[in-house]
């Protein structure tokens, strides 16, 4: 039996206890949590079959009461001595995609991001926001199969593009590969088809949150998106962090959203719409170039989930919805390079190099920390990826 050591300022203290999936060399995947730099095998510690699984989906499907019970038990067990057979150093394990992603929807919930893109793409329009933007959380359906865990290399996508000077479209590697720093929310429980999730009960259905990098090929996107929205410019890859921070740990991070005016329709209206006090950071080849503040997001995750189901569509355990690019009011708070470089017109300094979009060999790391109880910081780890040359 061992008492797990954690530094008092660790972003992986007892207040966090994120969930993940790990394996040791040549062994099967199992569910885990993390305390300090120790990975705790939950199937070994708790002996419950839903943790002896290669994803968190079975555990998530048990529902909110069991999430509360399990977290309470873990906080009690891990504060005392723990059997050595359940403990591994973070350096000795491989971390995997924590969930089997069922469906994936991406939103567009930052007013700063939506306004910046409106100004870039519709410079002659006096209102940078589309007329629907303050009435519903705008979103599109993405591809679940290309969501990968941090550390997975990203191959530059090929596709059609047509620049303003091109007479006809051409095919080839994207020349405007971008990132979108977002948070992703994982749905733990279902609703029957034909029913809807009430906006005030939505947080009982959200299991937890991850960092989400929505890789975006701007040139492919610009040509394809009219009139039905993003497709192949987005669907080639998205990177998530290996740690799912439970919503139960994020209770202390809840903060009011910015004022929602006009008042949303009743199915979206909340007594106190909440956002999350999360600080994100984007590193480009080791240089921190942006710090997007999640607390500035206009729409609440609860409103996004209520909106997904308002037409009676069911969600399932493992559904993931992402917030959309997180951008704050300042230039160094913009979460996408198209905004940061104003469409490529204003290069940024990346360690002495003037850069606009992502080049082959570049490494992008997005990290995030939330506010926890008593000044604690709650880490999400990283969503890290390197870009490899296109397959021609
Ligand atoms: Mn996005």
| 211 DSSP β-pair partners | 183
Q: Specify the 3-state DSSP secondary structure of 109.
A: coil
Question: Is the bond preceding 311 in cis, omega lying within 30 degrees of 0?
Answer: no
CA-based max dimension of the chain: 71
Q: Which of 317, 183, 314, 168 is nearest to 241 (CA)?
A: 183
pLDDT in tens, the chain (392 residues): 999 989 989 999 999 999 999 999 999 999 999 999 999 999 999 999 999 999 999 999 999 999 999 999 999 999 999 999 999 999 999 999 999 999 999 999 999 999 999 999 889 999 999 999 999 999 999 999 999 999 999 999 999 999 988 999 999 999 999 999 999 999 999 999 999 999 999 999 999 999 999 999 999 999 999 999 999 999 999 999 999 999 999 999 999 999 999 999 999 999 999 999 999 999 999 999 999 999 999 999 999 999 999 999 999 999 999 999 999 999 999 999 999 999 999 999 999 999 999 999 999 999 999 999 999 999 999 999 999 999 98
Q: How many Å lie between the centroid of ligand 1 and the Cα of residue 378?
A: 24
* CA pair distance 199, 307, nearest whole angstrom: 8
For residue 370, report the distance from its CA to the centre of ligand 1, in Å.
Answer: 21
**Is 113 a catalytic site residue?**
yes
Q: Which domains, ranges and CATH numbers included, belong to the chain?
A: 19-95 (2.30.30.230), 104-388 (3.90.850.10)
Cα–Cα distance, 321 to 380 (Å, whole number): 17
> Distance from the CA of 180 to the center of ligand 1, in angstroms?
6
User: Which strand (E) or helix (H) includes residue 105?
Assistant: strand 104-107
* CA 147 to ligand 1 centroid distance, Å: 13
Q: In 79-126, which residue ranges form alpha helices assigned H by DSSP? A: 111-121
Tokens coding 118: 């409106």
Terminal-to-terminal C-alpha distance of the chain: 54
The rounded Å distance from CA 195 to ligand 1 centre is 27
3-class DSSP assignment, residue 331 = helix
- Please name the helix (run of DSSP H) or strand (run of DSSP E) that holds residue 302, with its range, or none: helix 301-309
> Which residue in 50, 64, 88, 113 is the catalytic one?
113
Cβ proximity of 268 and 303 under 8 Å? yes
How far apart are the C-alpha atoms of 265 and 348, rounded to whole Å? 41
DSSP secondary structure string for all residues of 269-281: --SS-EEE-EEEE
């Amino acid at each position: 039996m061992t008492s797990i050591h954690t530094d008092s300022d660790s972003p992986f203290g007892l207040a966090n206890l994120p969930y993940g999936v790990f394996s040791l060399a040549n062994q099967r995947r199992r569910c885990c949590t993390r305390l300090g730099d120790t990975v705790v095998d939950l199937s070994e510690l708790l002996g419950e079959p839903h943790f002896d699984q290669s994803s968190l989906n079975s555990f998530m499907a048990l529902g909110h009461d069991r999430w509360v019970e399990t977290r309470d038990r873990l906080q009690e067990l891990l504060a005392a001595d723990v059997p050595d057979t359940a403990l591994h150093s973070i350096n000795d394990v491989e971390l995997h995609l924590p969930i089997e992603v069922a469906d994936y929807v991406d939103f567009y919930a930052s007013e700063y991001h939506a306004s910046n893109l409106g100004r870039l793409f519709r410079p002659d329009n006096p209102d940078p926001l589309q007329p629907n933007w303050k009435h519903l959380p705008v979103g599109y359906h993405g591809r679940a199969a290309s969501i990968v865990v941090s550390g997975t290399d990203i191959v530059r996508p090929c596709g059609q593009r047509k620049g303003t000077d091109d007479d006809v479209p051409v095919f080839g590697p994207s020349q405007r590969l971008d990132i979108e720093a977002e948070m992703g929310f994982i749905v733990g429980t279902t609703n029957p088809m034909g029913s809807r999730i009430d906006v005030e009960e939505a947080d009982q259905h959200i299991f937890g949150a991850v960092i989400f990098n929505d890789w975006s090929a701007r040139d492919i996107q610009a040509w394809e998106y009219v009139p039905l929205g993003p497709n192949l410019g987005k669907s080639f890859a998205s990177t998530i962090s290996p740690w799912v921070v439970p919503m139960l740990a994020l209770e202390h991070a809840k903060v009011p959203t910015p004022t929602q005016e006009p008042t949303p329709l009743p199915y979206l209206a909340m007594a106190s719409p909440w956002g999350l006090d999360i600080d994100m950071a984007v590193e480009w080849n080791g240089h921190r170039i942006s710090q997007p503040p999640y607390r500035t997001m206009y729409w609440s995750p609860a409103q996004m989930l209520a909106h997904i189901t308002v037409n009676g569509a069911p969600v399932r355990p493992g559904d993931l919805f992402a917030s959309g690019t997180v951008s704050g009011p300042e230039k160094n708070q913009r979460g996408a390079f198209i905004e940061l470089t104003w469409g490529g017109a204003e290069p940024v300094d990346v360690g002495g190099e003037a850069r606009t979009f992502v080049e082959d060999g570049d490494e992008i790391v997005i990290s995030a920390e939330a506010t926890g109880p008593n000044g604690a910081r709650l880490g999400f780890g990283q969503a890290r990826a390197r870009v490899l040359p296109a397959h021609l």
